[in-house]
Amino acid sequence: MLYTEWITALQNAAVDNAQTVQIMRVLRNRLLGHEALKLYFVQKAGLVGTLTRFMDAAALPAVQREAITILGSIAHGGTRELDALLWHNVPQLLLEVVRRADVGSEEGKKLAEAGLRALRIIYRHTATPRELPFRPEYLGTLLHLLESNELGRIREYCAVLIANCCDQTDKQALLCEKGVPRVAVKMALSSRGAPYSLLEASLDLIAALTRDNLTGVAQIANETALITMLFDLLQRKSTAEIRIFAALCLANIFQREETSTDPRIVTILLPSLSTLMAGDSPVRARAAEVLALLLTDSETLQVAACDADVISRLAAMLKTPRSESECEAALLALAVVASYKEECRRLVIDAKVLPSILTSMESANVGVRSAACQCTRSLSRSVKNLRTSLVDAGMASPLLRLLEDSSPLVQKTACAALCNLVLDFSPMKETVLKEGGVRRLVELVGSTDSDLRYNALWALKNLLYLADTPIKTATMQLITYPRLQQLANDPAMLVQEQALNLIRNLVCEKEQDVNEVLSCFGQESLIKLLESKMASPKEEVLVHSLYIVANSCTAASAIPKEAALESDVIMKRVASLLQPGQPSQLQLASLWCVINLTWTDDTGSSERITKLRGLGIERMLQGLLRAGLAHDVRDRVQTALDNFSALDPPRARPENRRTN
């Protein structure tokens, strides 16, 4: 029979005729394993649209089942096949089939199972919209089937479908509200002796419910029988899939601080992940991803992971990756391992991965390039690495090239990696300056992406930290002061924070720098900007604003000091922070404002001290000294009081003033 005849036969076939079943069965067998033929039928012959006619409730269950099986086979294809399925609304048609199937009968069970199997395949594609199965009319059916102990494969497919579609916190919250974690735990515990696929599905669902979800974790973490089973699965001769799912569930659960002290994390989970990352493991990339998840923000576990020999495993994976996903996963895991402890960073460097990181920066894969930047960023947190290994490897130039990458994600991570490379003690700062790094960073500051503006400003801020005056001047010629003022009022609060920190660094150290900023910015404009930040809800914005005041007051000229004193907004905020119970960093910033305003070597200091006394500042300092203070805050209070006492008979001078 010619291909066109198959379609004609199907178009003319009755939906309630047993002969239709035979036609479909022959077509199904003909298409099996022939991807090119499937694509021809989909694109040229309109097969998907033809098959949807047989998913109507009026069609024989056997006819529906055969049509669904062919659609499931088509779903194994690529983007073009998926587009056709979505265009003809196949996911919703399949959900309707499942919803109306009578699972109390054998025929109904077979129909529901076929529909769910096809849905599972369709929702493996990340491009499939995830909202439809969470509509109340469909979710209710899926949850009902999930709780039915007698429906083995149906439960399995429901669990996988729900897990694949549970991609947002509101969906997790809805499932937790409906008690799905309890159902998933019960399903996992009762799956011993059942096919491995049922256990995999239950663990997949538990992992989805506990991913970055404290509510889901809280409902599951106290299930000691489940936790014990998960650790047992890691020690048994389970399949690699089962072990990786068990490890993922445990990593999600033990991200909670109160449960992360379980000794089995170190004695069982970490060694198991190390084994799963071995050379012949089929789940190396996923094991590295789980490891990164587990170690994030935990210095203790990062050190323990190094003891479990994970670095050598990750290094081997990075040097000989079997796929781009393995390369990306290895880089991200190494970035996490090296994020805190110097000893861990040294082990990563000793594993001789820097050439592989450099090569990864040239990858055609966006994720790999971004991960290479993240790994470099972690390693650059070490002053020793900045002065030796990273310099020798020549990391700066490739990162600068990535600032012009076509991917905003890569640009962001490249900016973040450069932040440490441009600090004053880094030899690579010179490379960044010589190769036009400042110009490229300034261009990114103009991005519409707030994260990119933030990272670019962060790098520029670090570049200007303790920088020589010519570098500051040249940088500001590119940024310009009007644009810097706009950035200080950016809609994104984090961008404001970095812009103000940059200004703080501009007015740090040299009087020449202070005078240039006051001249170019304008004293009045700067004061208005700082006044607008005194009520900021973000503590860091207020801290940097206060240090701009303090640093500006180090100039020999009385003008910036008088401007600060004449600002009721600034002085009231300074006074309010000289009360017990305020955050230490805000108290310190306010104290430096007072110290520099009262520095007795400066012209007009006695008049300013008198005015501050009139505002009650000295009395506040005396009260603060009687409160329980951190050592550095107490020292600064004493320095400020010494300045006030300078109007009295001569006494020993306080320590030298400094900028911050």
Give yes or no for residue 431 having a pLDDT over 60. yes
Instruction: Report the CATH fold assignment for 380-479.
Output: Leucine-rich Repeat Variant (1.25.10)
What is the CATH architecture assignment of 263-372? Alpha Horseshoe (1.25)
Tokens linked to 608: 């300013």
Give yes or no for residue 256 having a pLDDT over 80. no
Same fold for the domain at 1-129 and the one at 135-253?
yes
Of the spans 2-16, 538-552, 642-656, which averages the highest pLDDT? 538-552
DSSP code at position 657: P
Classify 34 as helix, strand or coil: coil
pLDDT for the residue 653: 47
Extents of the domains making up the chain: 1-129, 135-253, 263-372, 380-479
Give yes or no for residue 384 having a pLDDT over 90. no
pLDDT tens digits, 534-569: 999 999 999 999 999 999 999 888 999 999 999 999
> What is the maximal distance between C-alpha atoms in the chain?
113
pLDDT for the residue 2: 56
Q: Which residue has the higher pLDDT, 286 or 6?
A: 286
CA 322 distance to own-chain centroid: 25
Give yes or no for residue 505 having a pLDDT over 70. yes
pLDDT for the residue 258: 54
Mean local confidence (pLDDT), 449-463: 96
CA 249 distance to own-chain centroid: 19
d(CA 10, CA 61): 16
53-62, 240-249, 620-629, 640-649: which has the minimum mean pLDDT? 640-649
Please give the full DSSP string across 541-563, using - where no structure is assigned.
HHHHHHHHHHHHTTSSSSHHHHH
pLDDT tens digits, 162-197: 999 999 999 999 999 999 999 999 999 998 777 889
Give yes or no for residue 34 having a pLDDT over 80. yes
pLDDT for the residue 236: 86
Please give the full DSSP string across 121-142, using - where no structure is assigned.
HHTTSTTS-SSGGGSHHHHHHH
Tell me the pLDDT of the chain averaged across its residues: 92
pLDDT for the residue 430: 87
Nearest to 94 by CA among 55, 128, 58: 55
Question: Cα angle at 487 between 483 and 489, to 5 degrees?
Answer: 120
CATH superfamily of 135-253: Leucine-rich Repeat Variant (1.25.10.10)
d(CA 155, CA 554): 72
d(CA 177, CA 202): 18
Tell me the helices (H) and strands (E) count for the chain, helix number first.
Answer: 44, 0
Give yes or no for residue 479 having a pLDDT over 80. yes
What is the CATH architecture assignment of 1-129? Alpha Horseshoe (1.25)
Evaluated on CA atoms 637, 642, 647, 648, the torsion sign reads positive
Q: Return the amino acid letter for 361.
A: M
pLDDT tens digits, 606-641: 999 999 999 999 999 999 988 878 889 999 999 999
d(CA 433, CA 637): 40
How many other C-beta atoms can be found within 10 angstroms of the C-beta atom of residue 352?
Answer: 10
pLDDT tens digits, 125-141: 999 999 999 999 999 99
Query: Do 83 and 125 touch, CB atoms closer than 8 A?
Result: no
124-138, 152-166, 384-398, 467-481: which has the minimum mean pLDDT? 384-398
pLDDT for the residue 441: 97
Query: Do 604 and 563 touch, CB atoms closer than 8 A?
Result: no
Classify 521 as helix, strand or coil: helix
Q: What phi, psi does 480 have (nearest 5°)?
A: 75, 145
pLDDT for the residue 557: 87
Quickly state the pLDDT bin for 252 (edges 50, 70, 90). very high
pLDDT for the residue 17: 80
Classify 322 as helix, strand or coil: coil
Q: What percent of the chain has pLDDT over 70?
A: 97
pLDDT for the residue 658: 53
Q: Which residue has the higher pLDDT, 386 or 140?
A: 140
For 483, counting Cβ atoms within 10 Å of its Cβ (0-12 exposed, 13-18 middle, 19+ buried), the class is middle
pLDDT for the residue 391: 83
Q: Where are the alpha helices (DSSP H) in 147-223?
A: 152-165, 169-177, 180-189, 196-210, 214-221
Quickly state the pLDDT bin for 423 (edges 50, 70, 90). confident
Give yes or no for residue 449 having a pLDDT over 60. yes
Q: Which residue has the higher pLDDT, 303 or 14?
A: 303
Q: Return the amino acid letter for 73.
A: S
Nearest to 154 by CA among 106, 193, 122: 106
